[in-house]
Structure 1
Amino acid sequence: METGRSNEINLVKGKKVYFASDQHFGAPNEKDSKIREKKFINFLDSIKGDCQVLFLLGDLFDFWHEYKTVVPKGFVRILGKLAELSDMGIVLYFFTGNHDLWMRDYLQNELSIILYTNEQEFDINNKKFFIAHGDGLGPGDKSYKTMKKIFTNPLARWLFQWLHPDIGVTLGNYFSRKNKLISGEEDIKFLGEDNEWLIVFSKEKLKDKKIDYFIYGHRHLPMDLPIGEQKQSHYVNLGDWISYFTYAVFDGESLKLLTYNDN
């Protein structure tokens, strides 16, 4: 985990914390992506009046790689909207996901977004939050964990950056869009508490300390489940902005998982 940052948030009266994840902008193609991008921008407009903090829990882009002086083309509208929120004084946190794990410092320098590459614990109005994208946590998924180690290896990143951006970004987009979650070829179904890796991980975490809310992305299936011996903690998966258009909001006392509808 990154250190040296204060992970304590005290909400001003009337202000809230919002959480969203897995927008996968860029997929499945530019035309369809812009429709979803516009919907997410409308959502951001709808919350900016009472939003004090916005957490984006990864996979905002279906593929993202930052070269030293080059970033992927497109996404001007969403980046501009995030810049507007930042300029308004809204604090933005971003947790890299498995599709945008090759971020460097572009969002930090241009938008003042606070970037995390690993899970973090936050104290928000005296409630304990465990926040992560969720990829690679818990048991199982050994093949992905091996792949992630390769992709995040400094040597692998150094070698990839020597590909011309037209080649590197094209390859990245191709393999990201082959993902079954994006193509719709794979149904997302609840596997039961004993088979959901992030739930198993969260329950193990509760054996060591009290956590009020576990907030994750990655799974694409919106869930809000009470867990723990007394069922006083909550496992929350934020869903996605591909099929569900879901998000969570914390008002300082309780958290709700909601669906955005701009009709």
Structure 2
Amino acid sequence: MQITPNKRIYFASDQHFGAPTPELSFPREQKFVAWLDEVKKDAEAIFLLGDLFDFWFEYKTVVPKGFVRVLGKLAEIRDSGIPIYFFVGNHDLWMDDYFEKELNIPVYHDNQEYTFNGKTFLIGHGDGKGPGDKGYKRMKKVFTHPFSKWLYRWLHPDIGMKLAQYLSVKNKLISGDEDVKFLGEENEWLILYSKRKLETKHYNYLVFGHRHLPMIVPVGEKAEYVNLGDWISYFTYGVFDGETFELKKFE
């Protein structure tokens, strides 16, 4: 993709709408819609890197109640001709084809490679990458298996959604009971993963979410690991203008 002069590519991740309750999530949804209204003015494309929702499950004829303003704004932007790309996170990993059919937004379940103005990008949510976290990796294989989705679909939506919200709020990161701290380059799994990927192929930017900490870390010659932060504590997003990548805060 060649970026049009004076246009930008925008990146955001980890909004977790619906957590810890719909009522407490609503102001964050309003703020995110205001951000979408702002960036659509000069957006060449928008990348959403997962965990847009704190939980998402698509029954054959039912999707989670709520999020109308967010979904409506995404539809408006997409209908205007601006491409939007969605990467599932660990909280919305059961996303299927609703976004593709209703919003014309492609959905990706793993990393994708892109080239913008000659700069190479590796883009994904970031969960289950790098060394360690073997328990989660095993759990993800179980959750993403077609049989698991088929089994969960037998729960009535009212029961399935309530159960999922209860389990999600138990996550201290989302409930606000835990401070996320930088662990150092030698202990940050996504930094280690980025360095390992660079051993076989060069990327200028390796862009992820999941970690909830906004950071740009050099990981090689002309290569940077980027974490987009979140829309719970930081309200940060990434901007690429064709030459450089920046993290900014939406006030």
Question: TM-score, with normalisation over the residues of structure 1?
Answer: 0.94
**1:248 aligned to 2:246?**
no
Residue in 1 aligned with 2:131?
139
Tell me, in whole angstroms, the C-alpha distance in 2 between the residues paired with 1:36 and 1:103: 21
Q: Given the alignment, which residue of 76, 92, 99 partners 1:100?
A: 92
Tell me, in whole angstroms, the C-alpha distance in 2 between the residues paired with 1:11 and 1:64: 32
1:59 Cα deviation (Å)? 0.2
Residues 205-224 of structure 1 aligned to structure 2 (within 5 Å): 205-224=197-216
Residue in 1 aligned with 2:227?
237
Residue in 2 aligned with 1:6?
none
Q: CA deviation digits over 1:109-162, x for unaligned, max 9?
A: 111101100111111111100001000000000111011011001111111111
Tell me, in whole angstroms, the C-alpha distance in 1 between the residues paired with 2:177 and 2:117: 41
1:178 Cα deviation (Å)? 1.3
Tell me, in whole angstroms, the C-alpha distance in 2 between the residues paired with 1:29 and 1:161: 23
Could you list the runs of 5+ residues in structure 2 that have no partner in the other structure?
none
Residue in 2 aligned with 1:11?
3
Residues 1-263 of structure 1 aligned to structure 2 (within 5 Å): 9-228=1-220, 230=221, 232-261=222-251
Tell me, in whole angstroms, the C-alpha distance in 2 between the residues paired with 1:41 and 1:73: 17
Kindly report the root-mean-square deviation, in angstroms, between the aligned alpha carbons of the 2 structures: 0.7
Instruction: Give the counterpart letter for 2:198 in structure 1.
Output: L
Question: TM-score, with normalisation over the residues of structure 2?
Answer: 0.99
3-state SS of paired residue (2:57): coil
Instruction: Give the counterpart letter for 1:43 in structure 2.
Output: W
How many pairs align?
A: 251
Provide the identity percentage: 62
1:213 Cα deviation (Å)? 0.1
Q: CA deviation digits over 1:38-83, x for unaligned, max 9?
A: 0000101111110010000000000000001100000000000000
